Structure 1
Amino acid sequence: MRALSAELDLEQLRPAIAGIACELTGAWRCLLLLRDEGRSYIEAEALASGGAIEINTRRRAAGEGEMSLGMLELALEGGSVCAGNDGSLLQSAAAHDDEDGACRALCIALTHGGEVPGALYLVRGEHGAAFDARQLTLARRLAAHAAICLHNALAHARLRRENEQLACAEQALRTSQELLKQGERFNHTGSMRYLVREDLMFCSDELCRIYGLEDGRNCINYEEFAALMHPDDRQEVIDTVDAAVAMGGTIRVEHRICRRDTGEVRYISGIGKPVWVDGTFVEYVGTATDITVRRQAEYAMRVAQADLERVSRANTVGQLTASIAHEINQPLMSIVSNAGASLRWLDRDPPNLDNARAGLRDIVAEGQRAGGMIAGLQGLTRNTEPVFARVDVNAAIRHILTISKSELERREVSLVLALAPEETCALGDLVQLQQVLLNLVVNAVEAMAEVRDRPRTLTVSSACTGDQRVEVAVQDTGEGIAPDAMPRVFDAFYTTKENGMGMGLAICRSIVENHRGRIRVAGAQPCGTVFRFDMPRVP
């Protein structure tokens, strides 16, 4: 029995119990049965044969072919059951202690701590031999000791499984933490916990790297965090954070920091979610992402887009060179004519000062007209940052049509102008809106270049819609756009022109959408194409 006490491995303990039971009690056959989810299973079998004991550890369900299930059920209820030579069953082995030869089979419950995990089933002889009193006593003692050993082994197995599960969980946690660190490094995103009452912010390694904190300095207070912010952004971020903390709301901020180690300015996007415990707001958990590279890419894209828009404007203006030269030449010719006339009025004796003054006033007016036109052209071709202000849409339309007038006449295009009588103002950049109008007008004129069988008519209109928007329409009587090409006309690099770049309408769409507007294209009736765009109206 000492060997059983020292054994904690169930795989070794179960056959050992069956073998020792055969050896101590002189049984011919011994079965160790254990309960599992309401059923009994034979876990080990020992057979005494020719002075040796054979062990079978094949697990199988208990059945009538191998034992008496009636004895097993009674034993699990009453402790132990004996089967006599006459086939009778008694639920107490002690009843046969003084009756040698009266118990040929014995089933004893394995009981420990009020639990019955299984039983020992022993058969004395293959040909009806019976247990004596000493053997029955040894069997009961062995069953009690086996129950304790099984309980200890099961507890040890559970503890070992729990330790293995704990070790697996710890390994999974370490793996998860390492993956989290790698993910943070890859995405340039650090994580943090901010304990509100304690005024402590715990930062991940990546967040410490982003902020430029010293090695091992993973905990800072709110004042130290605020000191990292760029002076121009600090107060706004503090106000946003304070407002969110006051109500336990989510924090979302974008700001610049000055790294503590190098002083380098970095752009940060941060979000913090409140954590509530038992109805009490206790902390924030969140992330901070270094978006400097993204901001730099956005800036580079804006610069590239501005350059592309400027080139597109210059290219479009270049197509109207003759018209622009004609429109500028008219005030210049008027200036020359008025200057000559004024000189003649002054050469008279006596000089006619009134007519000379009138001629000079005309010179000033025509000079201002030419200067205004040149200034407008410079605005269209100069690389300047967009300036959003109140724009008179009708005035912008008239300006574009003025510089296009000679081109319309040269191509024999009739103009129908239908502008809204009321004030049509929008918030936008004048140069960009003029670029959209100029591109649409030039496209419309070119679309009618091959028309010979009908009048070439350009219709430009403006209107104020009921939803407080200003809508502009540019319509031509050209050949129109194929239905399958309609969805693609605003795509970059898509063009139906032989020498087109495919950027004009794409830029138009980008400009209109940046003005919170929409641009659309449709076929006109009975022929041609109409482009419409709208923007929010401002008083």
Structure 2
Amino acid sequence: MSIIKRCKKLFLSDAMAWLAAIAVGSMIFITNSMLNMDVAPTLLYITLVFMSANIFSIPVFLTVAISCIGFLTVSFIVEEGYRDQKLIAGFVRCLIALTTITLLALRSKRASDSLRRKEAFFLGAQKLSHTGSIGLIIDTHTVSWSEESARIFEYPLDVTPTLALIRARTHPDDLHIVERVFEKAALRESLIEVEHRLLMPDGRIKFVQMSANPLFNPHGRIEYVGALMDVTASRQSEEALFHSQAKLAHVTRVTSMGELAASIAHEINQPLAAVITSGESCKRWINREEPNLEEARRSLDRIIQNSCRASEVIACIRALSRQSDVQRKTEVFDDIVSDSLTLMQHDTSNHQVRPHLQLGAPEALVKGDRVQLQQVIINLIINACQAMANVHDRPRTLRIHTSVQDDEAVLEVADSGTGISEDILASLFDPFFTTKQNGLGMGLSICRSIIEFHGGRIWVSSTVGVGTQFFFAIPLTALRHDE
């Protein structure tokens, strides 16, 4: 194999091209010296011009072409061909033919060089952007790809691409995606777009995106031509960003725990006080001359109920404070909202805020991380309470309303505060933007990141002097049988 490559390299080298040009030039000299023919030298000159056009650069080619015309003219003058009218006519024909061929070859040479330059730019752009091209003829299952596609699949450049090679590099869990691509191609769909993973021999995983369109060739066959992009670096960056946001969200939750300390203490003390009261009542019912076991049993049930309530509050607080991986589960949207408000009851009471909860989505199920969604809701409630701190001429009303709109679970948190001016609204969700004197400016930014991670959206509307309404919407999900 190496001998064949060396021979190929030798035949395509500049030295061999110069030897071929010298050989043709020698043939021109011999033919012109020994044969009494006018056409033969011209044909050899034309051959030399074509060879130069395919081998040399444009300056060298023009030098060769002008030299051929010069040699032809000098030969005509030296041999005194101008004395014979027929020889003059033949010389003119040969000169016109050689000049015409030179101009056509120059035009072809420029077009060829331009094409090579564009091809070099194209290949360079593919390599820099990690984007290769790939082709598939459906009828014959013939596959073709560019050098960059071969690099993405990590195959040698001289390997002939096949469907089997593509399947061999596809991650086993994503094989159905690739098979679906072939099915769509067989159905002649106008646009195919997929993203899947590749599994390399050393265990590395790559993420690739492919989009393809069909082209009809002259033989009536359909060939799909597409772009294959290696997006592994982008996915790794997104994953790193997600982990950074998760850590930042955890820090924010821990910071919020300090602000909620009074509410937390109240939510724990309330069921504990009920446990003590019920325990004392149970003791009294038992110590009577005739113990009332039924009332004692009811007191014990209340003790168990309030103990469970205290345990639930502690579990919720621990979940908010711990740093763990995101756990997306199917949850009842209204339960998340009501539990979040329960944690904030003491805080709203301290701010003299009257909450009005209207749960209008009792059957709405969402798939998400309960702790993160509670973090968003608690943050919105804290902001609403703080926004009404300077309101003294009207009731401080907090309206929390859930609903289902267009296959989305929607939450509205509205306050009756002083409102937000129009020029500030556009910057509310920007990182480090805050209207509070001691604020970090990360609360609403993290809220937006969490909602967008859940495939939703968050927005705000406000009227100065009336109040502000925050909304967020996340997609509904269906309850699976195993859940």
TM-score with structure 2 length normalisation? 0.74
Task: Note if contact 1:457-1:476 (Cα within 8 Å) is conserved in structure 2.
Answer: yes
For each residue in 1:82-108, what CA deviation from the matched residue of structure 2 results, as whole angstroms up to 9, or x when unmatched?
Answer: xxxxxxxxxxxxxxxxxxxxxxxxxxx
Q: Shift in Å at residue 527 of structure 1?
A: 2.8
Q: Shift in Å at residue 210 of structure 1?
A: 2.2
**Runs of 5+ consecutive residues of structure 1 not aligned to the other structure:** 26-137
Going by fraction, where is strand more abundant, 1 or 2? 1
Which residue number corresponds to residue 107 of structure 2? 165
Inter-CA distance 463–247: structure 2 relative to 1 (3 Å threshold) = closer
Q: Partner letter of residue 401 of structure 1?
A: L
Which residue number corresponds to residue 178 of structure 1? 120
Which residue number corresponds to residue 405 of structure 1? 345
Q: Shift in Å at residue 15 of structure 1?
A: 10
Which residue number corresponds to residue 5 of structure 2? none
For each residue in 1:194-215, what CA deviation from the matched residue of structure 2 results, as whole angstroms up to 9, or x when unmatched?
Answer: 34444443333322222222x4
Which residue number corresponds to residue 375 of structure 1? 315
**Percent sequence identity over matched residues?**
32
Task: Note if contact 1:495-1:501 (Cα within 8 Å) is conserved in structure 2.
Answer: yes
Q: Shift in Å at residue 174 of structure 1?
A: 3.5
Task: Note if contact 2:361-2:409 (Cα within 8 Å) is conserved in structure 1.
Answer: no
Which residue number corresponds to residue 445 of structure 2? 506
Which protein is bigger by CA-based radius of gyration? 1
Going by fraction, where is helix more abundant, 1 or 2? 2
Q: Shift in Å at residue 390 of structure 1?
A: 4.7
How many Å separate the matches in 2 of 1:478 and 1:220?
66
How many Å separate the matches in 2 of 1:199 and 1:461?
57
Task: Note if contact 2:144-2:161 (Cα within 8 Å) is conserved in structure 1.
Answer: yes
Inter-CA distance 218–306: structure 2 relative to 1 (3 Å threshold) = same
Matches within 5 A, 1:105-504: 142=85, 145-213=87-155, 215-247=156-188, 249-260=190-201, 262-278=202-218, 280-347=220-287, 351-382=291-322, 383-393=324-334, 395-415=335-355, 417-420=356-359, 423=362, 425-429=364-368, 430-464=370-404, 467=406, 470-504=409-443
How many Å separate the matches in 2 of 1:254 and 1:449?
50
Task: Note if contact 1:390-1:428 (Cα within 8 Å) is conserved in structure 2.
Answer: yes
How many Å separate the matches in 2 of 1:171 and 1:291?
33
Inter-CA distance 195–218: structure 2 relative to 1 (3 Å threshold) = farther
Task: Note if contact 2:188-2:214 (Cα within 8 Å) is conserved in structure 1.
Answer: no
Which residue number corresponds to residue 60 of structure 2? none
Task: Note if contact 2:385-2:415 (Cα within 8 Å) is conserved in structure 1.
Answer: yes
Inter-CA distance 196–527: structure 2 relative to 1 (3 Å threshold) = closer
How many Å separate the matches in 2 of 1:525 and 1:462?
24
Q: Partner letter of residue 324 of structure 1?
A: I
Inter-CA distance 196–410: structure 2 relative to 1 (3 Å threshold) = closer
Q: Shift in Å at residue 402 of structure 1?
A: 1.6
Name the SS of the counterpart of 2:439 in structure 1.
Answer: coil
How many Å separate the matches in 2 of 1:442 and 1:497?
12
Task: Note if contact 2:137-2:221 (Cα within 8 Å) is conserved in structure 1.
Answer: no
Q: Partner letter of residue 223 of structure 1?
A: A
Name the SS of the counterpart of 1:191 in structure 2.
Answer: strand
How many Å separate the matches in 2 of 1:269 and 1:324?
48
Which residue number corresponds to residue 466 of structure 2? 527
How many Å separate the matches in 2 of 1:160 and 1:227?
51
For each residue in 1:478-509, what CA deviation from the matched residue of structure 2 results, as whole angstroms up to 9, or x when unmatched?
Answer: 33223221111122221111121212212223
Size of the aligned set, in residue pairs, is 416
For each residue in 1:299-355, what CA deviation from the matched residue of structure 2 results, as whole angstroms up to 9, or x when unmatched?
Answer: 112222222223323333431110121111110111123223334444556654333
Inter-CA distance 524–251: structure 2 relative to 1 (3 Å threshold) = closer
Name the SS of the counterpart of 1:280 in structure 2.
Answer: coil
Inter-CA distance 538–419: structure 2 relative to 1 (3 Å threshold) = farther
Q: Partner letter of residue 437 of structure 2?
A: E
How many Å separate the matches in 2 of 1:448 and 1:220?
67
Q: Partner letter of residue 411 of structure 1?
A: H
Task: Note if contact 1:475-1:524 (Cα within 8 Å) is conserved in structure 2.
Answer: no
